[in-house]
Amino acid sequence: MFALYAYMRLVDDIADAEDKREASQRIEELEAWRRQTHAALTGQLTPANGHLVWHALADLVRRFAVPPMVFDEVIAGQAQDLHPIAFDTWEQLHQYCYRVAGVVGLACIHIWGFDGGAETEAMAVDRGVAFQLTNILRDLREDTARGRCYLPRTELASLHMSGDDLQREVGGAGGGQFSGEAFDRLMRMQIERAESYYEKSAGLEDRISADSRPTLVAMTAIYHGILAKVSRRPGSVLDGRVSLSLPAKLLIGWKAVRESKGMRT
């Protein structure tokens, strides 16, 4: 898991690090990263591929049979963030969520160990999508301020809103078609969608190897807890990033270990 996180962190930094690199340079670096990934996974590492992550990545894929397509999808998702973010439909947003989070869930269960074959793999992808939808709502203010609107344009338009309206509201300028009622309806639509993906993946924990269940239980409780907090006051996402307190997270971790002991072994 450390190796997987390191890989994901490094590729994310190529696309999203706060520095002065142009998008074109980042795209070239992502392509180089894709080539290095393929070299690592096909046993073609050279002295030029000297970063420790490549050996760790090759080892985890070999030992845990993580599908290699996971890494191509992740890179493709990061590349999307280098262009103006604008999804016309839910299907387009879903593809993005699949790339940046769904396949990460798939990689995780291969490392943890699981039963249930393709059905469990689909549940892991759905859980990743649920997490990413939660992230999008949690980070709405921050992303909007950076000119990124992940919410489908067709859904905004159905409520007579636009990404520009959200951006003006976040910036405190006002003057758009933004209204509290419309925003609340928009948020409820997104919250219900995220909830549906938590529901579709319910029972995933019971299919994961016992020694790894607490990790998934805790991760899910934290993300689902953030969604519940947003649901109680949707407008809070306009004030800043919604999060759980450290004591709440520690309590979740303690409960995850305790509850996982009662699951099927």
CA 53 to chain centre: 21
Over range 1-28, report the average pLDDT: 88
Looking up tokens 């928009």, which residue turns up? 186
24 and 98 housed in the same domain: no
In a domain, 74, yes or no: no
Mean pLDDT value across the chain:
88
Residue 222 has a pLDDT of: 93
177 and 52 housed in the same domain: no
Give the number of other Cβ atoms within 10 Å of residue 152's Cβ.
20
Share of the chain above pLDDT 90, in %: 63
In a domain, 227, yes or no: yes
Residue 82 has a pLDDT of: 85
Alpha-carbon distance values, 84 to 114, 143, 144 (Å)? 38, 12, 12
Q: Band the pLDDT of 223: cuts 50, 70, 90.
A: very high
Residue 50 has a pLDDT of: 66
Q: Is the pLDDT of residue 178 over 70?
A: no
More confident residue, 226 or 235: 226
How does pLDDT run across 69-109, given as a tens digit for each residue? Answer: 999 999 999 999 888 778 999 999 999 999 999 999 999 99
In a domain, 78, yes or no: no
How long is the chain? 265
DSSP 8-state secondary structure symbol assigned to residue 49? S
CA–CA separation, 19 vs 4, rounded Å? 24
Q: Band the pLDDT of 219: cuts 50, 70, 90.
A: very high
Give the number of other Cβ atoms within 10 Å of residue 118's Cβ.
7
Token pair of 169 as six digits: 């509201």
Amino acid sitting at position 7: Y
Residue 3 has a pLDDT of: 95
Strand blocks (E) in the chain: none
155 and 193 housed in the same domain: yes
CA angle 206, 68, 22 (to 5 degrees): 115
In a domain, 93, yes or no: yes
In a domain, 170, yes or no: yes
160 and 115 housed in the same domain: yes
User: Of 161, 201, 203, which Cα lies nearest the Cα of 178?
Assistant: 161
166 and 212 housed in the same domain: yes
Residue 172 has a pLDDT of: 60
In a domain, 77, yes or no: no
DSSP secondary structure, 127-141, as one string: HHHHHHHHHHHHTHH
Residue 265 has a pLDDT of: 45
Residue 71 has a pLDDT of: 97
245 and 158 housed in the same domain: yes
CATH number for the domain spanning 107: value is: 1.10.600.10
89 and 42 housed in the same domain: no
Residue that is last in its domain, among 39, 66, 93: 66
Q: Band the pLDDT of 49: cuts 50, 70, 90.
A: low
91 and 132 housed in the same domain: yes
97 and 62 housed in the same domain: no
CA 253 to chain centre: 20
Structural domain containing residue 101: 84-260
CA–CA separation, 59 vs 78, rounded Å? 23
User: Of 224, 222, 230, which Cα lies nearest the Cα of 253?
Assistant: 222
The total number of structural domains that make up the chain:
2
167 and 216 housed in the same domain: yes
Q: Kindly calculate the radius of gyration of the chain based on its CA atoms and give it in whole angstroms.
A: 20
Let me know: does 123 contact 201? Beta carbons within 8 Å. Answer: yes
